[in-house]
A = this chain, B = another copy of it.
Amino acid sequence: MRISVEPSRQASDYAFHHRIRVRFAETDAMGIVHHSRYLLYLEEARVAYLRHIGRPYPEWRAAGMNATVLEVHLRYVKALQFDDEFDVHVSLAEVGRTTFQMAYLVQRDGEVCATGVTAHGLTNTAGRPMRMPSWLVEMAVDRRDPAVN
């Protein structure tokens, strides 16, 4: 599998956004948010999005299904700083037979700070790959892949 999605830099191309504020513990000695923390932000936004569409991730896990991360790609455009409020815009960008991709745009006051894509596979509690549930496939069919520009 390879990430094939190019995340849009237009907020209007995304299905959902989630607001976060930078913790002091997320900064580093350069005085900015450490690059690894963005993965925590994308994950928080992804979980908020799944809750928003009525498919909360704890229910996936209760049903024995994990959305394992297979691949991530991040571009850092403008550094976030302590106490900044920012939005993570998120969309389901592509659904294959056993994998799906999510696209992300991180914005602060309308300014692009980062973009990202995460690719996921579904695995059962034994770590074995599972087929996509039909609702997830249908979600992708219903839309025009807005996050791909």
Contact = CB atoms under 8 A, between A and B. Distances in A.
Interface stretch (A31-39, A96-104, A139-147): A31-39
Contacts of A24: 28-29, 34, 43, 47, 57
A39 B44 contact: no
Interface residues of A, number: 38
Given A70-B75, A70-B76, A76-B69, A82 B29 contact: yes
SS class of chain A's interface: helix, strand, loop or mixed?
mixed
A133 B34 CA distance: 24
Nearest to A28: B27
Contact of A25 (B28, B79, B83): B28
A73 B76 contact: no
Interface in A12-37: 23-25, 27-32, 34-37
A138 to B, nearest CB: 25
Given A30-B66, A56-B83, 4 more contacts: A25-B43, A58-B83, A68-B79, A72-B72
Q: Sorted from nearest, which 9 A-B pairs have the closest CB atoms? A: A27-B29, A36-B39, A35-B69, A29-B31, A58-B83, A73-B73, A25-B40, A72-B74, A71-B75
9 contacts: A23-B44, A24-B28, A25-B28, A29-B32, A30-B66, A36-B40, A39-B39, A56-B83, A68-B76
